[in-house]
Amino acid sequence: VMTNNPEERMNIYASFSQRIKKWEFGLNGNLGFNKYIQNTNAIDIPTQSNNQSLGVSLRTYYKEIPTFKLGYNKSFSQLKTSYNNETSTDNVSFGVDYKFLKRLTFKGNYNYNLTKYNASYVKFEQANVSLEYKKENSPCLFILQGNNLFNTGLINNVSFSDFMVNNTNTYVLPRVFLLSIQYKL
């Protein structure tokens, strides 16, 4: 008998951000603690599931220089039952947006993820960029875009819940460059 009704549950989430002139600083955290009793083959198995995460971010709001967003998140998960599972994940993200020469806009983002599951590590990186050209009061927009610049072929994600351990593979389209034209009616 497996139920999703913890006998004890405690979840705390907090978020704080402060904007000082053209800079914004952010901090967020999450704590989750759950205790269950699972009955399998007439045996009561005490189960404890814990999750913790902490994130920080920095963002700028400038018009004359590139605006960017930088973030870091660290998360931990533990499942203690007749067997133990632990994961920890580090995620770093960076984004930039810059309008220059009055008609061009450059956008880029980068994401680095490292997950430790028991004694193994799973890592992936992704980066995307685009360059947009739009003449003022013109209905046309030209975009040159590059996706998956590091040619990441596979994103592997390890997670678990009270009932199962998941190892999920997501296949990513290969590196691609695309020129598109948009016309606004």
Contact in structure between 18 and 42 (CB atoms under 8 Å): no
pLDDT of 55-95, one tens digit each?
999 999 988 889 999 999 999 999 888 778 888 999 999 99
Q: What is the distance of C-alpha 33 from the center of its chain?
A: 22
Among the residue ranges 51-55, 94-98, 120-124, 180-184, the one predicted with the least confidence is 120-124
The pTM of the full predicted model, rounded to 2 decimals, is 0.84
Question: What's residue 3's pLDDT?
Answer: 60
Q: 31: Cβ–Cβ under 8 A, 6 or more apart, which residues? A: 10, 11, 12, 13, 51, 52
- Work out the average pLDDT over 7-27: 95
Residue 32 has pLDDT above 70, yes or no: yes
The label of the residue with tokens 């704590």 reads 31
Q: Which of 1, 80, 86, 75 is nearest to 34 (CA)?
A: 80
pLDDT of 109-144, one tens digit each?
999 999 998 788 889 999 999 999 999 899 999 999
